[in-house]
Amino acid sequence: MRWSIDFPIPASPFPISHSSKVVSLGSCFAQTIGERMQAAKFEVLINPFGTLFHPLNLADLLQKAIPPTQMNSAGIVEREGVFVHYGAHSDVKGATPTELEENFSRQMLRLHHSLKKASHLVLTLGTAWLYSHRDFGKVANCHKQPAALFEKKLSSLEELENGLRPVLRMLTQLHPNLQIILTLSPVRHTKEGIAENQLSKSLLRVLCAQLEQQLEAVTYFPAYEILIDELRDYRFYKSDLVHPSEEAENYIWEKWQQFSFSPETQQKVAEIQKIQLELAHRSFNPDSEAHRKFLQTLLGKLERLHGEFDFSVEIQDVKSRLER
């Protein structure tokens, strides 16, 4: 008897290789997949403004990065003695408004320069529920301010499409080689309500399909469908029953590799991951001759790969262990 549905995912027509330059923006999945790619020695910029969930917030951010735009000071808010901005996650903060503005500008420049050289832009959409401040307008993060200051509204498909499509089209016109991968966060926003989350995700899924049809550079990766349909058992969730477990993340990562990496790149990633497992190994007796031979063999592998990938930190770590 089968206990899960394994549906085919066609390989991307525009695969990512280790020569690719990737920008990953959006919800927690953008962070997770970006970090796994960084660990596998890909060049990736991950959420310079922290996790963002709504397509219109992502559209605003991308728009402001071309060219880099100064922070709107009207969005500054103080939270527990730290200054943050309604247009970004609390990862972007400052001890003073000036420091916040400097940090905001620094991240905007990072995004601007990364988009100029990017081969792939990965956008992970999280929710269609939008929060608007009565004075500032739509916000990316409420920063735990009083609920009375905000209005919650479900964005229509037309609003979502009219907000995101022109920005993506502009990016592909400015950078004709840029490929865009859309995906939905597999994390359910249960605080909005189960039915409300399903309504939100449905709108986002239709949005992705519309954009994929309208823009040649856009493809879709079904992270949400993998978790909700293929891994639908709650054993694939963390204890909060909302976020995917490590096992589920590993499974989606494998699917991501099959979708976005060529077979040659997948082989390189497997070799890098094996090296990283060896780096994480801690011997029962670090002073033994057997462990020294293990480290010397590992150092040889790292030095061989260093010509293609940056293993300078790892090489220094192994050498320091051998010198003890």
> Mind listing the pLDDT tens digit for each residue in 270-285?
999 998 888 888 777 7
What band does 1 get if pLDDT is binned at 50, 70 and 90? very low
* pLDDT over 80 at 2, yes or no: no
Query: Cα separation of 49 and 131, whole Å?
Result: 17
What does the mean pLDDT of the chain come to? Answer: 91
Burial of 223 (0-12, 13-18, 19+ CB in 10 A): buried
The pLDDT value recorded for residue 294 is 86
- Helices and strands, number each (H, E), in the chain: 10, 10
Compute the average pLDDT of residues 306-314: 87
Q: In this predicted structure, what is the pLDDT of residue 241?
A: 65
pLDDT for the residue 67: 87
Least confident of 45-54, 55-64, 208-217, 283-292: 283-292
Tallying the residues shown for the chain, one arrives at 324
Least confident stretch, 6-10, 79-83, 101-105, 229-233: 229-233
The winner for highest mean pLDDT among 33-37, 234-238, 249-253, 283-287 is 33-37
Among the listed residues 116, 118, 90, the one whose alpha carbon sits nearest the alpha carbon of residue 104: 90
Q: Which of 311, 295, 291 is nearest to 303 (CA)?
A: 311
- The H-assigned helical ranges of the chain are 28-39, 55-64, 97-117, 157-174, 194-214, 223-225, 246-260, 263-280, 289-305, 312-323
In this structure, what token pair is assigned to residue 117? 């050289």
- Residue 112: its pLDDT value, please? 96
H-type helices in 65-178, by residue range? Answer: 97-117, 157-174
Model confidence over 75-112: pLDDT tens digits?
999 999 999 999 999 999 999 999 999 999 999 999 99
Question: Residue 3 has what pLDDT?
Answer: 60
Q: Is residue 308 pLDDT above 80, yes or no?
A: yes
Best CA proximity match to 125, nearest among 202, 15, 22: 202
pLDDT > 90: percent of the chain? 66
Q: Please tell me the distance from the alpha carbon of residue 165 to that of residue 167, in angstroms, as a whole number.
A: 6
Q: Phi and psi for 132 in degrees, rounded to 5?
A: -120, 135
Asked whether residue 7 carries a pLDDT value surpassing 90, the answer given is no
- Provide the whole-model pTM: 0.91
Task: Judge whether residue 227 has pLDDT over 90.
Answer: no
